[in-house]
Structure 1
Amino acid sequence: MIAITGATGQLGRLVIDQLLQKIPADQVIALVRDPSKAEELRARGVQVRQADYTQPSALEAALKGVDKLLLISSSEVGQRLAQHRNVINAAKNAKVKLLAYTSILNADVSIMDLAFEHKETEQEIKASGVPFVLLRNGWYSENYTAAIPTALQLKALIGSTGNGKISSAARIDYAAAAAEVLVRENQAGKIYELAGDQAYTLAEFAAELSKQSGEQIPFNNLPVAEYKAVLQSAGLPDWLAELLASSDGSAAQGALFDDSHQLSQLIGRATTPLSESITAALAGANHAAH
């Protein structure tokens, strides 16, 4: 049995979609905080179990009979480590045979603030004695395409990445990699640095957006503190504005660049080109406008 945490989340749903193309639905367990949001998965034959990162006893019950577990990192930055620890301990007690974890690109050496909890989680996993595989995911292209409606409104793409190259891939690419690792044998001890085949600067992103939208959208590169202030004035909570601005600052120093092509090798195809991700985001924005 293969179980996926956060199964109704953006990545979790895609991983399950990919798994169902490879194995029967009755071999897949969706671990969710709110089972009422997983009716669609249940209708497809997936077993749905209630599991909350903050409830250790419920986690252990949910992992009964699980051979392989995908721990998708919690979205609650700052509380992740304690939550992940609960899952790791439950996996150990349930005698899970393989724990796969969605970490961050080059977690052990990354200068990104976001990397801290991932690095600590990796250390906890290694110390637990549970066989593990690390999926060190690079940036999702969606992290930047989500800003497209705002960029079109402001007639500019704003950030702090300078000339830093970003090797992002679409969320579906990372989901395909996770599913592939979960169905393969002999994955214990492996560490995958996963990133897109094609690296770009945000100026190149803005140029592609301009081309596709027919609008002139320049990239305005701001100092990190100024970018943070812009995000705060747009209504983002302080912690998120700080996180996004500091991530951009790290990207300017190369923290989101990787040219190992391990992701495309793992999934057996090229990663989704940035141009396609922009096309999809524009289609979504147009659909939302009508």
Structure 2
Amino acid sequence: MTTLVTGASGHFGRLTIEALLARGVAPGELRAGTRRPHELASLSARGVAVVPLDYDDDASVASAVEGADQVLLVSGNELGKRVAQHAVVITAAAKAGVGHLVYTSAPRADDTSLVIVPEHAATERLLADSGLTATILRNNWYLENYAATVAQVRETGVLLTSAGDGRVASALRSELAEAAAVVLTTEEHRGRTIELGGDEAWTFAEFGAALGTVLGREVTVEQLSAEEHLARLTAAGLDEGTAGFVVAVDGNIREGALEGGTHDLSVLLGRPTATLPDALATLV
């Protein structure tokens, strides 16, 4: 069985390929699709087929998908372009007769105000209309999304947030990639939509306390209004677009968009997800 992983030179795609290999999938059964094949020379040397795949190049997508039995469609990272890019892969997969497509979506994509969701929801609708057998992995927030926050807190001792008491069921990217590998190597999850997140959702007060322990320093958590948060971030040098995105996500967290509520990730992994201190230690 040939499995194509798109976006294979990105963090998630590469981790999924490593997880597939760790689960015993033969390198010759894996196809790594990427815009930057030269970055995957080490995988090629291990016997993984590395092929050009650019979401903006229909011909490269069609060539990469041809002959694949299943495809992991790792969502693109170009906001505003993702629906069209994903549609190219879905169309090619349907035309090629791919038996199973797995897509990395967002939490509660059919019922949430989360700022990143509209493109994911649109992609899920495309999949529903495609005739493909699809598994939707609704991945909660990667803890790695807070790497810059951890660096800032290490320097200043201050954690800024406008999320209030909202909770985040984050997980390590490696855990979510391993879950994708489980789904790609088992039959029983085909056709499911699975909400994936950490076992214990945390508040920013708890995040700050855990980070203080990991960093070995006192951390002050400052709860701000959205307006104050935006002003503080831009004053610190963050561009307005990025600062606005951070504040919008904190607003979504305040509303409960990332609070999780299932243990499907740990069930797929066969073990509990990493505790918040252990997960944060990987970023320090």
TM-score range, shorter chain: over 0.9
Structure 1 residue identity aligned to 2:123: T
SS at match of 1:135: strand
- Alignment-derived partner of residue 222 in structure 1: 224
- Alignment-derived partner of residue 19 in structure 1: 20
Q: Verify: 1:31 aligned to 2:28, yes or no.
A: no
User: Which aligned runs of 4 or more in structure 1 are off by greater than 6 angstroms?
Assistant: none
CA distance in 2, matches of 1:237, 1:126: 37
Structure 2 residue identity aligned to 1:257: E
The alpha-carbon deviation at position 219 of structure 1 amounts to 1.1
Structure 2 residue identity aligned to 1:96: V
CA distance in 2, matches of 1:13, 1:256: 25
Within the candidate set 63, 66, 72, 2:65 is matched to 63
Deviation string, structure 1 residues 245-273 (Cα, Å, up to 9, x no partner):
10111001111111210110111111111
Moved more, 265-274 or 139-148: 139-148
Within the candidate set 124, 127, 142, 1:125 is matched to 127
Moved more, 238-247 or 49-58: 238-247
CA distance in 2, matches of 1:228, 1:80: 26
- Alignment-derived partner of residue 177 in structure 2: 175
Superposition map of 1:115-264 within 5 A: 115-264=117-266
Within the candidate set 261, 265, 268, 1:266 is matched to 268
What TM-score does the superposition give when structure 2 sets the normalisation length? 0.95
Structure 2 residue identity aligned to 1:26: G
CA distance in 2, matches of 1:21, 1:235: 42
SS at match of 1:146: helix
The alpha-carbon deviation at position 90 of structure 1 amounts to 1.2
What TM-score does the superposition give when structure 1 sets the normalisation length? 0.94
Q: 1:162 and 1:90, CA in 2 relative to 1: closer, same or farther beyond 3 A?
A: same
Superposition map of 1:73-112 within 5 A: 73-112=75-114
CA distance in 1, matches of 2:100, 2:34: 19
- Alignment-derived partner of residue 288 in structure 1: none
8 Å contact kept, 1:113–1:247: yes
8 Å contact kept, 1:146–1:281: no
The alpha-carbon deviation at position 154 of structure 1 amounts to 2.0
SS at match of 1:166: coil
- Alignment-derived partner of residue 285 in structure 1: none
8 Å contact kept, 1:133–1:187: yes
Structure 2 residue identity aligned to 1:72: V
CA distance in 2, matches of 1:275, 1:184: 31
- Alignment-derived partner of residue 286 in structure 1: none
CA distance in 2, matches of 1:233, 1:56: 42
8 Å contact kept, 2:16–2:181: yes
The alpha-carbon deviation at position 186 of structure 1 amounts to 4.0
8 Å contact kept, 1:100–1:134: yes
The alpha-carbon deviation at position 32 of structure 1 amounts to 0.3
Superposition map of 1:47-58 within 5 A: 47-58=49-60
CA distance in 1, matches of 2:73, 2:218: 41
Query: What count of residue pairs does the alignment treat as equivalent?
Result: 282
8 Å contact kept, 2:183–2:190: no
SS at match of 2:22: coil
Structure 1 residue identity aligned to 2:22: Q
SS at match of 1:20: helix
CA distance in 2, matches of 1:91, 1:241: 37
Deviation string, structure 1 residues 1-60 (Cα, Å, up to 9, x no partner):
011111111111110110001211111110000111111111121110000011112100
SS at match of 1:57: helix
Structure 1 stretches lacking a partner, 5+ long = 283-290
| Percent identity for Structure 1 against Structure 2 | 38
CA distance in 2, matches of 1:224, 1:12: 34
